[in-house]
Amino acid sequence: MNGHHTTPAPTPSPSWKAGWAAAVQRPSEGFHKNWALEGFADQTVRQVVRVTGSGTSARIKLSHRYGSTPLEVAGATIARTDHGAAEYGGTVRRLTFGGADAVRIPAGGEGYSDAAEVSVAPFESLTVSLYFARPTGPASFHAQAYATAYRAAGDRLTAADPTVFSETSVSWYYLAAVELADGGPARDDTVVVFGDSLTDGFASTIDGNRRYSDALAERLADRGTPRPVLNQGIGGNLLLADSAWFGDRAGDRFRRDVLDQPGVRSVVVLVGLNDIGFSEIELPTYRPNPDRSVADIIAGYRELIDMAGAAGVRITGGTILPFKGSEYHTPAAEAKRREVNDWIRASGEFDAVADFAAALADPADPDALAPVYDSGDHKHPDDAGYRAMADAVDIVTL
């Protein structure tokens, strides 16, 4: 030996690509039973997500955006699954954070895990299990997941028996993204769908992956042009006002939920229904609910259009669906919807238009959803309606 040694070349960082994401919101009671306000203590939460990207390694992003004290995650795992809390044998991987099993995320912050070796194809599902040894306080979460999350007492990160997870809810907690890498270069081909409950998938089949984002990703794959599609809808979200229940206003969250996603090239925006409808009815959860003018709503759209344009991201505007028969349909609200939709179609300010309203309207009464697409509340589509929404997107323009 000559006494010299060679420093090994650093391992190149993976080129992270979109796999799955959800928009986080403030802890609240929500419309479904959830654990956000109580948080977790000496409990494991196992969450299931279906990716629309592919890769041979994965990392997770945890968000503590609405926390008031630091969050301690005592351990985490990721695995493949095709059935709820059950995991494929041999696929469970311990996640580390800067080489450590545990991570402390400051209040208002976020944290990424290190890369873990996981091979996953589009439309396959992963479990992400998080163990919280100490009380977390209220949890930043995504209220309307339409996917089951599972909770067990104690450290059950590697539990092979899914029955130990005896409690369930249909929200996601702290989990903001799963990103994937395959050793290849990054691709700028991610599609984000952004908006309110119509994007979030309200009334779609729980665990069925029947939101319009799912159907859109399937359309792209069937066409031979598979691309990741991220759903950044929040049920009840508003274009123009923050809500304690329904997330930050669209303009405030657009950068982090859309423009900061890996490889984003295109966004489909469908928001504004609640800005029109909330003022027509008095409910505690529908506040703030000022009477918004059409000019106010158009100004809100223009804010999103300008942000997308500055970032080089194509933006498609979605027309607001019919909602006759719902709790906040009035002649004044209907007049606003028509005027807003006319502007979306005719102004030329969006790069493209997805005419969801025309696609789902009742031919006999265009102010109402077609019965075949109505989930029953005269406002939200059913699974078939969400597929019709995906079909209304011109995928050539994405």
Strands 229-233 and 190-195: parallel
% of residues, the chain, pLDDT over 90: 91
E-strand stretches of 293-364 = 314-318, 352-354, 361-362
pLDDT over 90 at 205, yes or no: yes
Residue 35: pLDDT above 80?
yes
Q: 86-98: per-residue pLDDT in tens? A: 999 899 999 999 9
pLDDT of residue 21 exceeding 60, the answer is yes
pLDDT tens-digit readout, 100-117: 999 999 999 999 999 999
Q: Is the pLDDT of residue 341 over 70?
A: yes
Mean pLDDT over the full length of the chain: 95
270-288 pLDDT tens trace? 999 999 999 999 888 888 8
Up-side HSE of residue 26: CA atoms within 13 Å toward CB?
A: 12
Q: Which helix (H) or strand (E) holds 389?
A: helix 383-391
Once rounded to an integer, what is the mean pLDDT over residues 161-179?
97
pLDDT interval class at 4 (50, 70, 90): very low
In this predicted structure, what is the pLDDT of residue 221? 97
Enter the pTM of the model: 0.96
Distance, CA of 252 to CA of 214 (rounded, Å): 25
- For the chain, domains (ranges, CATH) are 17-180 (2.60.120), 187-397 (3.40.50.1110)
Is the model's pLDDT at 58 over the cut of 90? Answer: yes
In this prediction, residue 186 carries a pLDDT of 82
